[in-house]
Amino acid sequence: MVPILEMRGITKSFPGVKALDNVTLSVSPGEIHALVGENGAGKSTLMKVLSGVYPYGSYDGDILFEGQPARFAGIHDSEARGIIIIHQELALVPLLSIAENIFLGNEITRRGVIDWHETYRRTEALLAKVGLDESPAARVDSLGVGKQQLVEIAKALSKKVKLLILDEPTAALQEYDSQKLLDLLLEFKAEGITSILISHKLNEVGRVADRLTVLRDGATVSGMGRDEISEARIIRDMVGRDMAHRFPARTPNPGETLLDVRDWCVFHPTHADRKVIDGASLTVRRGEVVGIAGLMGAGRTEFAMSLFGQSWGQRITGQVTLGGKPVDLSTVPAAIRAGLAYVTEDRKALGLVLDETILRNTSLANLPGVSTRGVIDANRERRVAEDYRTALGTRTPTVFQKVVNLSGGNQQKVVLAKWLFTDPQVLILDEPTRGIDVGAKYEIYAIVNQLAEQGRGVILISSEMPELLGMCDRIYVMNKGAFVGELTRAEASQERIMATIMAAETGVAGGA
Amino acid sequence: MAGKTGTIGAYLKNNMRQYGMLLALVAIMIFFQFMTDGTLMKPVNLTNLFLQNSYIVIMALGMLLVIVSGHIDLSVGSVVGFVGGLAAVMLVQWHWPVLVAVAASLAVGVLIGAAQGYWVAYWRIPSFIVTLAGMLVFRGATLWLLNGQSVGPFPKVFQLLSTGFVPDVLPDLAPLLGLARFNATAFLLGLAMAATILILASRGRARAAAHGMADEPFGFFVGKNGLIAVAIVYISFLLATYRGLPNVLITMAVLIVLYMFITNSTTIGRRIYAIGGNEKAAKLSGINTERLVFLSFANMGFLAALAGLIFAARLNTATPKAGVSFELDVIAAVFIGGASMSGGVGTIVGAVIGAFIMGVMNNGMSILGIGIDYQQVIKGLVLLMAVIFDVYNKSKST
């Protein structure tokens, strides 16, 4: 079969770096083609070349689309040919309606005046197609991330798409929404739409992809057909080495109880009568990694943030002891002093000052630790930052690099460095490996293990069940703001966790 | 280690943002020095230049902190007018002692800043709105306070705040040097300051080198600090041949050094940058963001009050129109100096250089007899170009 898309010998250089080196990609009509690789492997650059963000002439090599040479001067040209890309960061205007967003820049008009009737009619048809049951007039900011993703896809469909490119579409989605999205891709395939799926989640790739191309360091490493796809092989090709275990081994050696939370109750910050956390109790022992599993909206992040200096919610009640003594966690500074650290799930928005250097981010939560009477000792600060860079293996030439230029994994190491420098007894890690590639995940896991071996307590919140199962000594299952089950490492399994959640949903006492 | 030194050219290129504006200031000065046939750098004009711009520079220090924290203060021009008027009423109509009146005026400035900061920090009312309101309120209050008229003149002691000069310690030196007038204090202080800068810089470099942190090429380090020292000595010599160091120059220099220290080396300064860079991350890192925003507005009020006193003292009268549109000059100075509208970026040195770029242009164009109409247009374009230059540089580096 003639490929719908062929990219041959694509080479793209930026000052000082070769981002793509002789990359070849061939996509057959009607297939779902997965593109995988670590962060920085060149996936996004390749897609930018394809969609014309980097115009023809700024790269070497040829692109053939439907047998014709494609020389796009901008994203408009590629869209005109039916190549639509949906970026990881959604490009919707939150304050506009679904219909307005779908036809933004492409409005249905009669003599320059928008034809709202036709706009809504077509929007309804598109929404039906993607299975989104919302009014076309609903504002986008009233929708969850999963539904917004569907609006993006409806928008792509409105443009007569032939080749749909999805850049990490499920990164921010929960299991259920992800499944729905993947089902949608399969439906499109049945209708003859070709897709390129960029993803970190190898189980998803295995589920829907017909073929797969692995990129590493800006070069094509391998291609495999549907029956050759295996996670082990993909990982090996992605990282360039065999990774026998996805999770580093650790011998659990829990000590006495470190953190003890009793009857934690939290109300919603704006809806004062909504109880979001309802009598949650949890213990963490020294040297123990404790997981919290649950669906999105179960209240895991809310629990963590309310615990950490009451950063979320109001009318917070409950008792907390740390090392056997009651502690004051009423403000963030107090929580830090007490020995708590919280690594947020959204490291860009909440964890880092992106435009600042690694150095300044590292010392941010413990400036007194590098200063005398309010005056910062620049040399001491630099030594601290360098030490953590070495200890955590942050890959960067100097600590004066702005964190905005780092990969997700390295950014997360900077966040960890910041909190380690406060010398916490208990670290709460909220989705610590979200959006991070396989190799860097392993390194983060190794750091978590080290923390436990140092006798610290770790609370790990994750939506990826294999991660919880691979890392945790004990797993709490959360549902609707309460812990509905507690499983030991031996008891825990993906099925068991889901069963516990489902039992709680239906009101039957179940699980452990 | 990173102590490896590159070439001077490469270093300069990497630090273009930092030195670009300084080079621009020097270029503008050379341009006007040439165009005005040397009038710009004449001792009497140089003295005037400092006197004319002192209040803008002083307010730019506070505005930098406000802008770095992600806010803006539009009320400073009105506060200048209000505090100047208040001081005039206290001194001229109520005959309060100068020290008491000055202290009371500064305290009122702090209160005004604190009041505005309270709404911004604790109620999260956008600073643009709060200080726009403040701008109107205090302009109106000034009119009311002064009954729409000018009040003055001030007692002699109060005028010294702006027009006074540091007395000469060696009045007999001038004839010995064959000069008509020579203020030895000014020159000696200039020498002392240059020497202090050189000593501090070399000590800092030695300490940094001991930690393997000296990134600046040695030649560049010597050249830069040498030039700074020479410039200070030269300017102090020029000033010495006129009336010496204006009091206000001393005030300004002390404040500049103090605020450089605060922004570069203290935890407070660092935290203000973090707030502007990412307020939520700063808050989750245990930083009391509300208090620091509040304090930066209170501080701005203090500096605006100080500028108001200096301005009133300079005119020797308080007028209802005093300080009109000063906020624009101050904000322009900060942005010309490389601060970012969205917060988190900007330096004291940049803001001071920005203020002097505006000041030298005002002064030079006035000497050349360019009309106020063209002056406004040119100043506007310079502001736009400076920010475009900044944005261009930033887009190139990422």
Q: Which domain holds residue A436?
A: 253-339+426-512
CB distance B283–A311 less than 8 Å?
Answer: yes
Residues 362-391 of A with CB under 8 A from B: 363-365, 367-368, 371, 374-376, 378-379, 382-383
Residue of A342, A344, A358, A375 to mutate when probing chain B, most B C-beta within 10 A: A375
Residue B262 touches partner A, C-beta closer than 8 Å: no
Q: Are B113 and B298 in contact (CB under 8 A)?
A: yes
pLDDT digits (tens, 9 = 90+) for A65-78: 998 898 899 888 88
Residue A7: both structure tokens together: 């990219």
- Count of structural domains within chain A: 3
Residues of chain B with pLDDT under 50: 1-5
Flag whether A302 is in a domain: yes
Residue B16: both structure tokens together: 């273009």
Q: What is the arithmetic mean of pLDDT over A252-273?
A: 91
Q: Where are the alpha helices (DSSP H) in A94-244?
A: 98-102, 116-130, 145-157, 175-190, 202-208, 231-239
Residue A94 touches partner B, C-beta closer than 8 Å: no
Same domain for A210 and A334, yes or no, is no
Report the chain B residue with the minimal C-alpha distance to residue A342: B284
What distance in Å separates residue B207's CA from the closest CA in chain A?
Answer: 8
Residue B112: both structure tokens together: 């005004």
Residue A512 has what pLDDT?
38
Of the three residues A402, A423, A444, the one that is the final residue of a domain is A423
Flag whether A248 is in a domain: no
| Nearest residue, CB atoms, A376 vs list B208, B265, B283 | B265
Residue B5 has what pLDDT?
44
Report the chain B residue with the minimal C-alpha distance to residue A329: B286
Residue B15 touches partner A, C-beta closer than 8 Å: no
Flag whether A224 is in a domain: yes
Flag whether A244 is in a domain: no
Sort strands A219-225 and A257-267 into parallel, antiparallel or unpaired.
unpaired
Q: Residue A30: how many CB atoms within 10 A of its CB? A: 16
Flag whether A246 is in a domain: no
Same domain for A199 and A231, yes or no, is yes
Q: What is the arithmetic mean of pLDDT over A177-187?
A: 87
Q: Are A167 and A47 in contact (CB under 8 A)?
A: yes
Of the three residues A423, A443, A458, the one that is the final residue of a domain is A423
Same domain for A219 and A360, yes or no, is no
- Establish, for the pair of chains A and B, how many residue pairs have beta carbons separated by less than 8 Å: 85
Same domain for A419 and A449, yes or no, is no
Residue A104 touches partner B, C-beta closer than 8 Å: no
* B277 neighbourhood in chain A, CB within 8 Å: 353-356
| Nearest residue, CB atoms, B211 vs list A344, A371, A382 | A382
Same domain for A490 and A461, yes or no, is yes
DSSP for B49-79 reads HHHHHHHHHHHHHHHHHHHHTT-----HHHH
**pLDDT exceeds cutoff 90 at A317:** yes
**pLDDT exceeds cutoff 50 at A258:** yes
Residue B17 has what pLDDT?
65
Q: Indicate the pLDDT class of residue A108, thresholds 50, 70 and 90.
A: confident
* B288 neighbourhood in chain A, CB within 8 Å: 333
Q: Which residue has the tokens 């997981």?
A: A291
Q: Are A171 and A200 in contact (CB under 8 A)?
A: yes
**pLDDT exceeds cutoff 70 at A164:** yes
CB distance B274–A336 less than 8 Å?
Answer: no
CA dihedral (A480, A482, A488, A491) positive or negative:
negative
CB distance B213–A349 less than 8 Å?
Answer: no
Q: Are B105 and B306 in contact (CB under 8 A)?
A: no
Flag whether A245 is in a domain: no
Residue A40 has what pLDDT?
65
d(CA A410, CA A31): 34
Q: Rounded to 5 degrees, what angle do the CA atoms A155, A161, A167 make?
A: 70
Residue A352 touches partner B, C-beta closer than 8 Å: yes
| Nearest residue, CB atoms, B280 vs list A308, A350, A376 | A350
Q: How far lies B294's CA from each of B66, B111, B136, B170, in Å? A: 10, 11, 21, 46
Report the chain B residue with the minimal C-alpha distance to residue A401: B398
| CB neighbour class for A84 (10 Å; exposed up to 12, middle 13-18, buried from 19) | buried
* B203 neighbourhood in chain A, CB within 8 Å: none
* B284 neighbourhood in chain A, CB within 8 Å: 308, 311, 332, 342, 344, 350-351
What is the average pLDDT score of chain A?
Answer: 87
Same domain for A317 and A390, yes or no, is no
pLDDT digits (tens, 9 = 90+) for A439-497: 788 899 999 999 999 999 999 999 888 889 889 999 999 988 999 999 999 998 888 88
Count Cβ neighbours within 10 Å for each residue of B299-325 and write b for 16 or more, e otherwise. bbbbbbbbbbbbbbbbbebbbbebbee
CB distance A353–B282 less than 8 Å?
Answer: yes
Residue A308 touches partner B, C-beta closer than 8 Å: yes
Same domain for A211 and A97, yes or no, is yes
* A355 neighbourhood in chain B, CB within 8 Å: 277, 344-345
DSSP for A40-104 reads TSSHHHHHHHHHTSS-TTSSEEEEEETTEE---SSHHHHHHTTEEEE-SS----TTSBHHHHHTT
Residue B211 touches partner A, C-beta closer than 8 Å: yes
Sort strands A32-36 and A60-65 into parallel, antiparallel or unpaired.
unpaired
**pLDDT exceeds cutoff 70 at A410:** yes
What distance in Å separates residue A433's CA from the closest CA in chain B?
Answer: 18
SS3 content of chain B, % helix, strand, coil (to 5): 75, 0, 25
Flag whether A507 is in a domain: yes
* B69 neighbourhood in chain A, CB within 8 Å: none
Q: What is the pTM of this model?
A: 0.81
Same domain for A233 and A356, yes or no, is no
d(CA B139, CA A195): 63
Q: What is the arithmetic mean of pLDDT over A139-168?
A: 86
* A367 neighbourhood in chain B, CB within 8 Å: 267, 270-271
Same domain for A325 and A225, yes or no, is no
Q: Are A377 and B204 in contact (CB under 8 A)?
A: no
d(CA B104, CA B90): 9
Report the chain A residue with the minimal C-alpha distance to residue B271: A364
* B345 neighbourhood in chain A, CB within 8 Å: 355
Same domain for A374 and A457, yes or no, is no
Residue A494 touches partner B, C-beta closer than 8 Å: no
Sort strands A289-293 and A194-198 into parallel, antiparallel or unpaired.
unpaired
Residue B2 has what pLDDT?
39
In this structure, what CATH number is given to the domain that contains residue A93? 3.40.50.300
- The residue among B261, B341, B345 whose CA lies nearest residue A356 is B345
pLDDT digits (tens, 9 = 90+) for A6-64: 999 999 887 656 778 899 999 999 899 999 887 667 888 898 899 888 888 889 999 99
Same domain for A101 and A166, yes or no, is yes
Flag whether A108 is in a domain: yes
Q: Rounded to 5 degrees, what angle do the CA atoms A60, A62, A64 make?
A: 155
Residues 387-416 of A with CB under 8 A from B: 398, 400, 404-405
| Nearest residue, CB atoms, B270 vs list A336, A376, A382 | A376
What distance in Å separates residue B95's CA from the closest CA in chain A?
Answer: 41
Q: Indicate the pLDDT class of residue A160, thresholds 50, 70 and 90.
A: confident
Residue B20 has what pLDDT?
79
What distance in Å separates residue A16's CA from the closest CA in chain B?
Answer: 12
* B208 neighbourhood in chain A, CB within 8 Å: 378-379
For residue B167, the 8-state DSSP code is P
Same domain for A395 and A262, yes or no, is no
Residue A282 has what pLDDT?
94
Of the three residues A423, A455, A472, the one that is the final residue of a domain is A423
| Nearest residue, CB atoms, A367 vs list B208, B267, B345 | B267
Report the chain B residue with the minimal C-alpha distance to residue A343: B284
Amino acid present at B171:
P
d(CA B272, CA B293): 8
| Nearest residue, CB atoms, A353 vs list B286, B344, B398 | B344
